[in-house]
Amino acid sequence: VTFSFDSLRRFPDVEAPNLFAVDASDRLILDEAAEALAASAPGEVVVIGDHYGAITLAAAATHGLRDIRVHIDPLSGERALANNAGELAPAFTVLPLDASLLSGARVVLLQLPRSLDELDEIAGLIAANAHPEVRLYAGGMIKHLSLGMNEVLGRHFSAVRAGLARQKARVLTVSGPIQAASEWPRREFQRELDLWVCANGGVFAGTKLDIGTRFLLSVLDQATPDAVTAIDLGSGSGIVAAVLAKSRPGLAVLATDQSAAAVASSEATALANGLGDRVRVVRDAGLESQPDASADLVVLNPPFHVGAVVHTGLAHRLFADAARVLRPGGELWTVYNSHLGYRGALKELVGETRQIAKNTKFTVTASIAREQSSR
């Protein structure tokens, strides 16, 4: 099978001349693990956090591996892997972040996540479920690595060895799993909301209430009081969806996020508050799976990072999605860091936008969706 890193794309993730589908850490992880990969049997290799499929596909092509198990948290990464796979598609299976991903694994290739909580959850799962002789090759670009990562790995494994840096990338080789009970997902009672909040490791703000979200929630009871359907777009732990469902008994609430961890957490939060039948949760890229003009209210605390690159393009895509999915006259309520100045884009992409509240850091706006024909 022919394979070239050069043919990999980031699509459907944001693409730009300064954004790449493969980096030096992908290549270093593959090189450091080469011997172990060459010696492994079908079903023994697991890849976690592969950005766009470079690690999975190169491992499959170079070493002829089959039955590679893969977990990628963002749906965009999972789709990029599928789009890039070509003839290598039969070589791997995508699985959730649980025991099914890791049982009996002997080689795990990991793109280190930014969040230490996410790493803690992943490391704990590997230690609990992989083969006792598992070897974990955990790598990343040095600017994204921290000593905290060694500490987290050290809680779950007896040996953590840092390899030599190459092209600003580094790989930690880890072995000797230590069995311990999993602490994930976590849950915490947020008294000010009278709500349980559940979160897996990779979720924005974890079980806490983000200060931007708190500001949004402080005015949310004013949002389209006659709404029958509402969407928590980019739901994270599902706090907003749970607040909406709890405070408006007649409202049908949909929570969507492209992160597998967020979707699991939003479901858990709804269940923990007895709202399991009131909040429907779907993993989706923006609002792709939702029909046009179908919602009365969309609530959004947009992400503004693409990996390390600040990129408002992502927020703009979500505004456009909300515009399409709102019925004319329906409203998009958005909270954002005031310096991001989203009001112009909201007006252009959705419709007339008014400021609802502003404090020293954040702005909350409401945008009224236009008629389809005038969009």
Ligand X SMILES: C[S@@+](CC[C@H](N)C(=O)[O-])C[C@H]1O[C@@H](n2cnc3c(N)ncnc32)[C@H](O)[C@@H]1O
Q: Enumerate binding residues for ligand X (CB under 6 A).
A: 204-205, 210, 213, 234-237, 239-240, 256-259, 262, 285-286, 301, 303, 314
Q: How far is the CB of 267 from ligand X (least distance, A)?
A: 13
* 371, two tokens: 């008629």
Q: How far is the CB of 241 from ligand X (least distance, A)?
A: 8
CB 73 within 8 A of CB 41: no
At 73, which amino acid appears? D
- Residue 201: which of 255, 272, 120 has the closest Cα? 120
List C-alpha distances in Å: 33 to 8, 63, 69, 175, 230. 21, 11, 16, 13, 47
Tell me whether residue 137 or residue 184 sits nearer to ligand X (CB atom).
184
End-to-end Cα distance, the chain: 46
Whole-number Å distance between alpha carbons of 52 and 13: 9
Tell me whether residue 276 or residue 307 sits nearer to ligand X (CB atom).
307
Query: Which DSSP helix (H) or strand (E) runs through 29?
Result: helix 24-32
* 45, two tokens: 């290799």
Tell me whether residue 129 or residue 266 sits nearer to ligand X (CB atom).
266
* 22, two tokens: 């493969």
Tell me whether residue 139 or residue 236 sits nearer to ligand X (CB atom).
236
Q: How far is the CB of 279 from ligand X (least distance, A)?
A: 13
Report strand pairing: 68-71 vs 92-94.
parallel
Tell me whether residue 129 or residue 213 sits nearer to ligand X (CB atom).
213
Tell me whether residue 105 or residue 300 sits nearer to ligand X (CB atom).
300
* 178, two tokens: 């230590």
Q: How far is the CB of 210 from ligand X (least distance, A)?
A: 5
Q: How far is the CB of 155 from ligand X (least distance, A)?
A: 26
DSSP 210-252: -HHHHHHHTTGGGS-TT-SEEEEES-TTTHHHHHHHHH-TT-E
Q: How far is the CB of 96 from ligand X (least distance, A)?
A: 16
Tell me whether residue 201 or residue 236 sits nearer to ligand X (CB atom).
236
Q: How far is the CB of 257 from ligand X (least distance, A)?
A: 4
Tell me whether residue 157 or residue 336 sits nearer to ligand X (CB atom).
336
CA atoms within 13 A on the CB side of 6: 1
Report strand pairing: 135-141 vs 92-94.
unpaired
Tell me whether residue 66 or residue 144 sits nearer to ligand X (CB atom).
144
Grouping H, G, I as helix, E, B as strand and the rest as coil, residue 133 is coil
Tell me whether residue 59 or residue 261 sits nearer to ligand X (CB atom).
261
CB 250 within 8 A of CB 256: no
- Residue 111: which of 174, 24, 198, 48 has the closest Cα? 48
Q: How far is the CB of 164 from ligand X (least distance, A)?
A: 34
Q: How far is the CB of 206 from ligand X (least distance, A)?
A: 9
Peptide bond into 328 cis (omega under 30): no
Contacts of 307 (CB under 8 A, 6+ apart): 51
Grouping H, G, I as helix, E, B as strand and the rest as coil, residue 236 is coil
Q: How far is the CB of 103 from ligand X (least distance, A)?
A: 27
Whole-number Å distance between alpha carbons of 220 and 272: 22
Whole-number Å distance between alpha carbons of 185 and 207: 9
